[in-house]
Amino acid sequence: MPKKKQPDETAKKNNPNVMGLHAQVLDQEITDTLEVNFMPYAMSVIVSRAIPEIDGFKPAHRKLLYTMYKMGLLTGGRTKSANIVGQTMRLNPHGDAAIYETMVRLSKGYEALLTPFVDSKGNFGKVYSRDLSYAASRYTEAKLSPICAELFRDIDSDTVDFVDNYDSTMLEPTLLPTSFPNVLVSANTGIAVGMASNICSFNLEEVCRAEMEYLSDPDFDLYSVLRAPDFTTGGEVIYEADAIREVYETGKGSIKLRARWRYDKKENLIEIYEIPYTTTAEAIMDKVEDLVKSGKLREISDMRDETDLSGLKLTVDLKRGVDPEKLMARLFRTTPLQDAFACNFNILIAGTPRVMGIREILSEWTAWREESVRRRVFADLTKKKDRLHLLKGLGKILLDIDKAIRIIRETEEEREVVPNLMIGFGIDEIQAEFVAEIKLRNINKEYILKRLEDIEKLEAEIADLEDILKKRGRVRAIIKRELENVIKKYAEPRRTGIVYPHEIAEPEEAEETEDYPVTVFFSRGGYLKKITPQSLRMSGEQKYKEGDSLLISYEARNSSELLVFTDRTQCYKARLADIPDTKASSLGVYLPVHLTMEDGENALYVCDPGDYTGSLLLMFENGKAARISLAGFETKTNRKKLTNAYSDRSPLVGFLPVKEDLEAAAYTSDGRCVVFSTALLTPKPTKNTQGVAVVSLKKNRVVTELLPLAETSVKNISRYRVRSIPAAGAVLKDEDREEQQLSLLGGDGDA
């Protein structure tokens, strides 16, 4: 049992209320907290907020639409959205902002639903735009769309259950008796606790016909009727049979979407007029802008958003000679112009979330709709039976109208009228009440005979209704008839086209890159220049920022790859073709910006990996060196950044590419030099290996530099050469240290 904490004695004397305060503090197991506090909240979010039910609505949707229905907005004119929001708060206590956002999503103006339920007037924003936000509720107006008649047609015929609202002042429906499978027609997204739902929309006519086919044969060919999802933003579904089958059968999977476009040859521009439902115009523009700025997309001279009242339009101006088909293939591959809709058909069935395929959803909707129709028929049957019962009592009055009048006239007290009629004609209390309420002008044979003519008609109708309740086939026939009526009134053509993979031109696996020789210059400040031989011959002195200088230069090809090592033990991969050619008088490309490195990250070294044979020798301050196989930096995917590219145990002081074994010189802070062969180090496949000791260092001494022996000023090579490692080396003589740094810069400059 948890124990109450004992209050401090001193605290009790100083504050007499402390005992009451501490008495409320209890130790509680975390498992109890989860069970008592968290689980009810999680279940509330799942059941009462985020996951749609079989009618296709979440509670927030249902509360809003029912409020509008009770306000008379199905047939009346529009009213201010603020008025609707205020009225809805009687059912939905989550606040006006949440209610208005719900209305926006259901509105015709926002264009999120194929069958919008709110007929809106004013600015309600657009689902395909991130920046086109909706106006405040005081500026917009709304009413229910005509299709809402299919949601509320039978709501007063006991088709669904009603429950109290949050303060028990009025009733609200638990579901709406939709006469069509709205759960598949309206797109729906919700994130609960530990689960989510993401239902794509399908064409109204196709869904209704699929349901009609299911009513006739549950094993019908679903794919021939319900062809593919349909979205309000249009575009095209890339019909991959396996992916579609997975979504239809399991309720989970991914469906590829892509934009629609046209080419204006006269103006040399591309107009994108429909985009995937999953993205926005701004997201596409941002991605294209990033590609253009990084030099990966040079065919575009300008791109702008020309969306207006006629609809979405993104215009792309092309440079001269650009093939629009090839450009769009690249854009589909690298931007959200081609995207995927991740399906998760998670629906509440009798309060339990279930992920279902489409055939199972149709089965559950059919069972629910059959029950709704039966409840409606039973309610109608009850009314007709009650009416028949009253008319049969009236029929007995016909036998002697004068007697009925005499009984009423001779009865002294009003309360005795009904009992006397019951005794006089052998009718029950309900029938007697009905007779007693007949107006004096209607107590004539003509009126009564006309009423009695309805008895035969009522008896036939009652027999027919009872037959419907007995026969499932007749119930399904009613559902079919209502579905046909929905198709006739509200069906619209598909908005999203269907294309098959074989109809799409396969994009080139790799863009053709113009190949030519270049010289790469990399400065200590992180700037990189790529200069062609012709430009190099015509150039003068290399230009650098004040305080910056050349670190390394080498000859390469424009098609070569580039490895960039940073001071965060990371390696970035790039293509020289993506870096613009420049001149000696230019500073070049600043690699931390070009490669979008992390804040404060600096480039230390670059190298050409070639065909990823050979190795890379890394020297650290602590005297250790690691020889890493370049094959470890080759990746099969398009990864642009490799973490843990080398060890972080000691600062790095030198890089040395090793195609074939050579001799290298390591310099220390106390003026020593060690000349060793790279053959003494075995290449390691592990990139972040700590390496092996090469230089033996005295206390507080470090290695300062690593150079190929051929690029040093060492003349007495035998004095510093070692046969084994680690070694302390020898103190440099004056003739061997002559112009050490200048010779390095001079060599690079000559290159």
The answer to whether the CB of 341 falls within 8 A of the CB of 194 is no
The answer to whether the CB of 496 falls within 8 A of the CB of 234 is yes
- Residue 225 is encoded by which pair of tokens? 């009727």
User: What is the distance between the terminal CA atoms of the chain, rounded to a whole angstrom?
Assistant: 82
In the three-class reduction of DSSP (H, G, I as helix; E, B as strand; rest coil), residue 544 is classed as coil
Which are the contacts of 632, defined by CB distance < 8 A and separation ≥ 6?
685, 686, 687
How far is the CA of 334 from the CAs of 283, 329, 330, 331, 360, in angstroms?
12, 9, 6, 5, 36
Strand blocks (E) in 532-579: 550-557, 561-566, 571-575
b/e map of 193-219 (b: 16 or more CB within 10 Å)? eebebbbbbbbbbbbbbbbbbbbeeee
Integer Cα distance of 720 and 675 in angstroms: 5
How far is the CA of 563 from the CAs of 395, 572, 576, 630, 655, in angstroms?
101, 6, 10, 10, 12
- Residue 562 is encoded by which pair of tokens? 């580039």
Q: Count CA atoms closer than 13 A to 500's CA, side-chain side.
A: 5
- Residue 374, exposed/middle/buried by CB under 10 A (0-12, 13-18, 19+)? middle
3-state secondary structure 412-465: CCHHHHHHHHHHHHCCCHHHHHHHHCCCHHHCCHHHHHHHHHHHHHHHHHHHHH
The answer to whether the CB of 646 falls within 8 A of the CB of 565 is yes
- Residue 514 is encoded by which pair of tokens? 């113009």
Integer Cα distance of 315 and 301 in angstroms: 11
Integer Cα distance of 570 and 632 in angstroms: 13
Return the active site residues.
Answer: 139
* Phi, psi at 701, each rounded to 5°: -110, 150
The answer to whether the CB of 408 falls within 8 A of the CB of 417 is yes
How far is the CA of 669 from the CAs of 676, 690, 693, 750, in angstroms?
18, 21, 16, 28
How far is the CA of 420 from the CAs of 394, 406, 427, in angstroms?
15, 11, 10
Per DSSP bridges, beta strands 346-349 and 352-355 are antiparallel
Integer Cα distance of 497 and 237 in angstroms: 6
For the beta carbon of residue 246, count every other beta carbon within 10 angstroms.
17
For the beta carbon of residue 112, count every other beta carbon within 10 angstroms.
25
Integer Cα distance of 344 and 134 in angstroms: 28
Residue with tokens 């005794």, as numbered in its chain: 423
In the three-class reduction of DSSP (H, G, I as helix; E, B as strand; rest coil), residue 95 is classed as coil
